[in-house]
Amino acid sequence: MKIDKRDWIFIAMVVVVLGIFVWISGKEKTTTVPRDAMHQVSYDAAFKNAPGPDASIFKRAFFKPDKKGAEVYCEPCHREKEVPFPPNHPPKNRCLFCHKLKK
Ligand code: HEC
Ligand code: HEC
């Protein structure tokens, strides 16, 4: 296959788009969910179906934590413990879209 000038422009565009993508995703700064005893219940809920270390590589690669299952605990406990939300906190349904779980 011959790569002509139009192809190179296309390739350059793909590279630029990918570059912007990587750049944006590196900007994530929202605080992560602390990995402490307090938050263990959320981690347990998220990873309750996690494949074990000897499961196949595909099972591990495609595993998604049960975020909805973990989120049910967030707000009630934060309310009970009176953890303050910053005054201009965005809408709070789906905590884990913004506050990532630690690995
Ligand atoms: C749309 C995105 C978004 C969602 C959804 C969201 N948050 Fe936040 N949260 C933020 C941002 C942005 C901040 C302020 C900046 C930061 O903490 O990095 C913040 C701050 C916080 C803080 C204070 C952190 C600190 O360092 O003082 C807590 C606690 C918190 N959020 C808990 C929650 C809980 C619990 C939920 C779900 C009920 C939730 N958030 C849902 C974006 C979000
Ligand atoms: C059993 C109680 C409990 C549950 C469940 C819980 N939290 Fe928290 N969370 C706390 C308390 C207490 C603090 C403040 C002290 C601390 O950092 O541990 C806190 C602090 C935080 C902070 C701020 C951390 C920081 O560095 O300032 C974030 C973000 C947060 N929680 C998010 C979440 C999210 C998202 C969930 C659900 C997936 C969740 N929490 C579930 C009790 C809880």
Residue by residue, pLDDT tens for the chain (103 residues) are 788 999 999 999 999 999 988 887 766 678 999 999 999 999 999 999 999 889 898 898 899 999 999 999 999 999 999 999 999 999 988 999 999 998 7
Residue 56 CA to residue 42 CA, distance in Å, equals 25
Q: Left if phi > 0, otherwise alpha if psi is -120 to 50, otherwise beta: which for 94?
A: left
Query: pLDDT value at position 27?
Result: 66
| 3-class secondary structure, 42 | helix
Query: pLDDT value at position 1?
Result: 74
Q: Whose CA is nearest to atom 37 of ligand 2?
A: 74
77 Cβ contact partners less than 8 Å away, ≥ 6 residues apart: 38, 41, 83
Would the pTM of this model clear 0.85, i.e. be above it?
Answer: no
Query: pLDDT value at position 28?
Result: 65
Q: Whose CA is nearest to atom 3 of ligand 2?
A: 77
